[in-house]
């Protein structure tokens, strides 16, 4: 419990804090504060924390999840973009000596430097957060692509995006985001969260997704950047065949017969759709395109 004797994440306590500081929500920052402690406990449990582990939280709000993280982990770094929340967090998190609030935009921060400067001595670090919907994908891709020394990413995001991240080949939700996330991590939807447990109430349901960071990707790729170019091209227009997407977005149109031959050699039907390809098939396709020098610059 904090100094008031009550968890922050209750409707009464949240309203008390908001009224005390005259805080008004900024729609542009996607601010929705959780008011259900059971869900917060489930989020923390999904990250498998203990006092030997550290946490980075993105968008702590008034500190409802932050205080639960402080109780579970050895150290917490909370990154908050909204300057108006800094004095509130100074108040609500006062009982905890293992937390530091960093004012900044996570998309612009040097996260490798943050690890070096603020998380020395912690080998196991997770990101745990209730992410604003409007920047979910850029934040997740930054965390994954920068190859930060992370153990888990456990985030509450829009349910639809969580389903896309965890989707399997051949399903309507499977796309380039699924392939990218699963290249870097094992993905699992941990729980679905109704809109009713937030202030203000969002228009859609949320879900908690857990990404367990892989030590090595599940496939070997010759050039990572080109692998993702191939994946994006294959999903560019979902109704188009694989061959048509590849020819319109990636390969030199004069080399169509070579592309058809490459697909035949790989045992991939040109008439298939991108969403039917497994991550292994995308890797084979990208690697072979590199070897045959078919990719346009």
Tell me the binding residues for S-adenosyl-L-methionine. 32, 34, 59, 80, 105, 130
How close are the terminal C-alpha atoms of the chain, in Å? 57
d(CA 220, CA 214): 13
d(CA 272, CA 266): 13
3-state secondary structure the chain: CCCCCCCCCCHHHHHHHHHHHCCCCCHHHCCCEECCHHHHHHHHHHCCCCCCCEEEEECCCCCHHHHHHHHHCCEEEEEECCHHHHHHHHHHCCCCCCEEEEECCCCCCCHHHHHHHHCCCCCCEEEEEECCHHHHHHHHHHHHHCCCCEEEEEEEEEHHHHHHHHCCCCCCCCCHHHHHHHHHEEEEEEEEECHHHEECCCCCCEEEEEEEECCCCCCCCCCHHHHHHHHHHHCCCCCCCHHHHHHHHCECHHHHHHHHHHHHHHCCCCCCCHHHCCHHHHHHHHHHHHHCCCECC
Q: Which residue ranges are tagged as binding site?
A: 32, 34, 59, 80, 105, 130
């Amino acid at each position: 419990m904090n100094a008031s004797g009550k968890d922050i994440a209750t409707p009464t306590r949240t309203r008390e804090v908001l009224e005390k500081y005259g805080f008004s929500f900024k729609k542009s920052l996607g601010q929705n504060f959780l008011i259900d402690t059971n869900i917060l406990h489930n989020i923390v449990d999904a990250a498998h924390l203990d006092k030997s582990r550290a946490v980075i939280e993105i968008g702590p709000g008034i500190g409802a999840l932050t205080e639960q993280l402080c109780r579970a982990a050895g150290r917490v770094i909370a990154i908050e973009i909204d300057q108006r929340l800094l004095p509130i967090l100074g108040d609500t998190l006062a009982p905890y000596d293992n937390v530091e609030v960093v004012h900044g935009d996570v998309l612009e921060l040097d996260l490798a430097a943050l690890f070096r400067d603020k998380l020395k001595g912690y080998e196991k670090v997770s990101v745990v957060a209730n992410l604003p919907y409007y920047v979910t994908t850029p934040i997740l891709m930054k965390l994954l692509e920068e190859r930060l020394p992370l153990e888990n990413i456990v985030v509450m995001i829009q349910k639809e995006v969580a389903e896309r991240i965890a989707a399997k080949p051949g399903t309507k939700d499977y796309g380039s985001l699924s392939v990218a996330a699963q290249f870097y991590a094992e993905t699992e939807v941990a729980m679905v969260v109704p809109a009713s447990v937030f202030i203000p109430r969002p228009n859609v349901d949320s879900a908690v997704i857990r990404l367990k960071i892989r030590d090595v990707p599940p496939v070997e790729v010759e050039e990572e950047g080109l692998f993702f170019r191939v994946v994006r091209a294959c999903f560019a227009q979902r109704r188009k065949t694989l061959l048509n997407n590849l020819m319109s977005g990636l390969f030199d149109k004069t080399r169509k017969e070579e592309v058809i031959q490459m697909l035949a050699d790989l045992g991939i039907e040109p008439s298939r759709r991108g969403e039917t390809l497994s991550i292994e098939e995308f890797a084979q396709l990208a690697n072979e395109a590199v070897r045959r020098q078919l990719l346009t610059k």
